[in-house]
Amino acid sequence: MSVETTEVEGIEPAVVHPPRHAWSEEEVRAAVQAAIARRAGAASDPLQMREELIPILSDINQTLGYLPPEAFVEVGKQLRMPVSQLFSVASFYQMLSTKPRGRHVVQFCESAPCHVVGGRQVWAALQEALKLGPGETSPDGKWTLQTTSCIGICAVGPVLIVDADIYGNVTPAQVTEILAKYR
């Protein structure tokens, strides 16, 4: 078959959903070391590795779903940085979470273009369907509801993101239907 195609693969997930359980110290350490190897593998001394701090934290955040306290301790050890400083960086960025998150992270674009084309109703329906407020995680550990800043696809707004799947042109009536796809 002479089909010449450009590879089409999934976009890099913004959020990966790990099985929800408490990570053991070994698992956290392994995740930290793997992240450092991936992101700062070439650098040998801790000072050089520090330039890669945010990519390293993002990497761990992706593997573990959030940044547990033990991760800060381990990163601090490897990069020779105080935990307070690491926490200060992590707490600054919206995508780095210091709290455990649900298996599925639902993000809703709260920006003006989505707001004026019916986003408000979708947001209300979403909170109602999940029985969660912004930033909350359901007690069963299944869902976390978050708002996201504009992802730039306003012409297909309102926009809803579940894990790495992006849904455009969402209506309030579709909310439960979309959520039902996730177990």
Partner 1 sequence: MKYFRSHVLVCVDPECLSKGAHDVMDALNDELVAQGLIDEVQVLETSRIGDCAIGPELMVYPEGVHYAGLSVDDIPFLVEEHFLKGRIAKKFVAPPKVVTDEELGAPMAKEVRVVLRNCGKIDPENIDDYIAEDGYAALEKVLGSMTPEQVIEEILASGLRGRGGAGFPTGRKWQFARASKATPKYMICNADEGDPGAFMNRRVLEGDPHSVLEGMIIGGYAVGASRGYIYCRAEYPVAVRTLRIAIDQARAYGLLGENILGSGFSFDIEVRVGAGAFVCGEETALMASIEGRRGEPRPRPPFPAVSGLWGKPTNINNVETYANVPQIILKGAHWFAGMGTEKSKGTKTFALAGDVNHTGLIEVPLGINLREVIYDVAQGIKNGKKLKAVQIGGPMGGCLPEEYLDRPIDYESLAAAGTIMGSGGFVVMDEDTCMVDIARFFMEFTQDESCGKCTPCRVGTRRMLEILQRICDGDGRDGDIETLEYLCKWIKTTSLCGLGQGAPNPVESTLKHFRHEYEAHIYEKRCPAKVCKGLIRYEIVDACTGCTVCARNCPVNAITGQRRQLHVIDPNICIRCGICQQVCNFNAVVIR
Partner 2 sequence: MPAVKSLEELRKLREEAIQKRKAKTTSGDVQITVAMGTCGIAAGARDTMRAVLDEIEANNLTGVIVKQTGCIGLCELEPIVMVEIGGQPKVTYGKVNVERARQIMKEHVVGGKVLSEYVIQSA
Residues that bind partner 2 (CB under 8 A): 1-6, 8, 10-11, 151-156, 159, 166-169
Residues that contact partner 1, how many (by CB under 8 A): 47
The item of partner 1, partner 2, none sharing an interface with residue 3, based on CB under 5 to 8 Å by kind, is partner 2
| 37 is an interface residue for partner 1 by CB under 8 A | no
Q: How far is CA 76 from CA 33, 47, 55, 63, in A?
A: 12, 12, 15, 18
Task: Tell me: does residue 128 bind partner 1 (CB under 8 A).
Answer: yes
Report the alpha-carbon distance of residue 11 to residue 79 in Å, rounded: 30
Task: Tell me if 162 contacts partner 1 by CB under 8 A.
Answer: no
Q: Does 150 bind partner 1 (CB under 8 A)?
A: yes
Amino acid, single-letter form, for residue 120 = R
Which of partner 2, partner 1, none has residue 37 at its interface (CB below 5 to 8 Å by kind)?
none
DSSP annotation of 2 reads -
Beta bridge partners of residue 106, listed in sequence order: 145, 162
DSSP assignment string, 89-158: HHHHSTTS-SS---SEEEEEE-SHHHIIIIIHHHHHHHHHHHT--TT-B-TTSSEEEEEE---S-GGG-S
Which of 11, 22, 42, 180 is in the footprint of partner 1 by CB under 8 A? 11
Under the rule (CB under 8 A), what is the footprint of partner 1?
6, 11-14, 50-55, 57-58, 88-89, 92-96, 110-113, 115-118, 120-121, 124-125, 128-129, 148-155, 157, 164, 171-173
